[in-house]
Each structure stands twice: as C-alpha cells, then as structure tokens.
Amino acid sequence: MIQAQRVSKIYTRSGARVRALADVDLTVERGDFLIIHGSSGSGKTTLLLTLGGMLRPTSGAVLFQGTDIYSLTTGKRAEYRRRHLGFMFQKFFLVPYLTASDNIRFPLVLRGTPAGSQERVREVAERLRIDQRLNHLPAQLSVGEQQRVAMARAIVAGPDVILADEPTGNLDRENRGILAQFLRDENRRGRTVVVVTHDDDLIRLGNRNIQLVAGRLDGPRGDDRES
C-alpha cells in the first residue's frame, strides 16, 4: 500500500549536515498495525512525515498504491493527503476559536462533504467519549480531551491510513487506554494504522514492529512479517 524505497533525509543545521534517515526500505501493507519505535532522535517522526507526503526525502521514493507521491504537484499531493490519510500529531493543532465539533468536522469541510457531517462527528465523538464536550473550545478541554478531539478529526473522513505520532504521549492511563482501544478498533474495521510511540501498551497492539536506530531500520526489513 505504501512503500519507502531507499529513502534518506538530510537536514542542514548551523552549517552541519544531519542524516535523519538513511536508505530506509519499508512496505506498509493494507490492514497493517505498524509500530515504529526507537530512541529520541532516531528519525521516527521524520519517517512518519515522509510516508505521509509532508516531508520530501533528500533521496529515494515513497509510493502509495504504486504512485510516487513526491512526483505529484503540490495540489495533487494535498489531495492525496485529504482523501487517503488521517494524521495525529504530537501537538494537537486544534483551531483555538473553533468548538470541538467544528475542529473535528474540518476535514469533511475540506473534502466538500458537509451533508451528514454533524451525524458523523457525533458518531466518532461518542466512540471517543467526548460527545458531551462538542460545544466547548479547546481551552475548555483537558489535555486528554484535546487529544481525543485530534484523534476524532484524524479519522472522521474515513481515511485509508491513520498516521499517529506519539498519540498517547503525556496522557494518563485512562486516556491512553481509550486511544489505544480506538486505534485497535479502527484497525479491525480495515484501516491501516502506522504509529510512532514509546508506549509499551501500544507497541503490544501492533501486528508489526520496527525499530529505527540512527535513521536506519534495525532488524528485519520493513517488508518482512513477524512470526
């Protein structure tokens, strides 16, 4: 479904070249629950952003269903993200002057599908236990509730793939459990899930588990399956 082919990413910082990814080969199959873990600075977030069409690699290719997404125009690549991907970032990026409901509905507006959007928002909010908070602004929500709003926004449009960067980071056990269960349910519904995490509970949920060490895959290549 998604293939990274010899993907490298080099940043230039204060005149020095920093290699964040080094010749990464990775295949994400439809229906995978793929966990990416590794120490801080190992390149996990860089890899996730590159797979999601948001960070052009220095070299190599990223294919979605056979199409090199970085060969697309900026507009076509944005359309690819809207139609196929749901993102959940470490920072929630909620719009502070919009209610939780409007934040969640935002991807539906971008896709031009407002009909029935409120029903869809409420359905997702109920599953994440935030249906009683839909009329609140982000500043009126707890950190856990903001995280669940961000998750609802990521999946409300029915993406093929969910990309989540530390989705349970800095949350209490109850909220970690809610989000972990939600991701597992979405995967069982047929969505492909790719998660960057340090959370042992999430790591155990994945059907595949890869580790990055200094920008390189450690252990089996990304197209191998665990026994």
**3 state SS of 73:** coil
**3 state SS of 139:** helix
What is the pLDDT, as a whole number, of residue 9?
Answer: 95
What is the pLDDT, as a whole number, of residue 220?
Answer: 47
What is the pLDDT, as a whole number, of residue 222?
Answer: 44
β-bridge mates for residue 165, sequence order: 196
What residue ranges do the domains of the chain occupy?
A: 2-218
SS3 content of the chain, % helix, strand, coil (to 5): 35, 25, 35
DSSP string for 198-219: --HHHHHH-SEEEEEETTEEES
What is the pLDDT, as a whole number, of residue 16?
Answer: 85
Separation of alpha carbons 36 and 88, rounded Å: 14
> In this structure, are residues 6 and 50 in contact, taking their beta carbons and an 8 Å threshold?
no
> In this structure, are residues 121 and 106 in contact, taking their beta carbons and an 8 Å threshold?
no
What is the pLDDT, as a whole number, of residue 219?
Answer: 53
DSSP 55: S
Q: Which residue ranges of the chain lie beneath pLDDT 70?
A: 113-116, 219-227
β-bridge mates for residue 3, sequence order: 27, 63
Report if pTM > 0.75: yes
- In the chain, DSSP assigns E strands to 2-13, 16-28, 33-37, 59-64, 67-68, 85-88, 161-165, 192-196, 208-213, 216-218
CA of residue 39 relative to chain centroid, distance: 18
Residue found under tokens 């220095």: 58
Tell me which residue of 87, 85, 83 sits closest to 111, measured CA to CA: 83
CATH number of 2-218: 3.40.50.300
